[in-house]
Chains A and B, each alone.
Chain A
Amino acid sequence: MLFFSFFKTLVNHEVTVELKNDISIRGTLKSVDQYLNIKLDDISVVEEMKYPHLSSVKNVFIRGSVVRYVHLPAAAVDTPLLEDATRREASQAVAKAKQG
């Protein structure tokens, strides 16, 4: 759930999504869902000469299960906030484990 929320904060930022088949797609992050499926707008394939298959495509839906990396703009990541959220989620998990 944390990364779903995190990706939602990155909407409208430029990201590069590297897939498990080694294709990298750069574009503007338009939406993300619970499976971390990603929608990008105004895309370009990083090695266009190698992979011309997507050259008539401007708008893609990428299935979350095939994503290897998402390269993020460092400036758009609020590290302290992300740390806090991580600790909060971890302590909630501990509290839940004690209850159960």
Chain B
Amino acid sequence: MSLQAYINKKVLIITVDGRTLVGTLLSCDQVTNVLLEHAVERVIREHGSEQASEEQPLGSYLIRGDNVVVCGLVDEALDASIDWTKVRGDVIGSTKNI
């Protein structure tokens, strides 16, 4: 399947509840279940927030396919050049209608 191309590479996943997870893609399947190694949650604070954006280490994470919105291939050089603690942005909404 098409996620096979990202295996053993650093990926960024946005979940249905709007969280951003970054890690190494170890495995994936037909229905987009994904296994991340060295996963971290990237918490990006809102514009005007005093708190610094941060990364929360999570370990290995198995994400069920129906929770995946986007799986992006991270450009590691570009990613390292960004100081993520200073990045501000809106909270990503859910893809569910609650």
Contacts and interface: CB of A to CB of B under 8 A. Distances in A.
B96 to A, nearest CB: 8
B20 A66 contact: no
Majority SS of interface residues in chain A?
A: mixed
B47 to A, nearest CB: 8
A21 B72 contact: no
A89 B14 CA distance: 36
A61 B18 contact: no
Chain A: number of interface residues, binned into ranges: 20 to 34
Contacts of A25: 70
Contacts of B3: 61
Contacts of B69: 19, 21, 62-63, 66
Contact of B12 (A23, A53, A65): A53
A60 B70 contact: yes
B32 interface: yes
Given A21-B94, A53-B44, A33 B1 contact: yes
Contact of A53 (B6, B42, B96): B42
B35 interface: no
A98 interface: no
A66 B73 contact: no
B71 interface: yes
A13 B9 CA distance: 26
Interface of A: 19-23, 25, 31, 33, 37, 39, 43, 49-63, 65-66
Shortest beta-carbon contacts, A-B, top 8: A57-B72, A56-B79, A20-B95, A60-B72, A59-B73, A52-B89, A21-B93, A61-B71
Interface of B: 1-3, 6, 12, 14, 16, 18, 20, 32, 42, 44, 65-66, 68-75, 78-79, 82, 87-90, 92-96
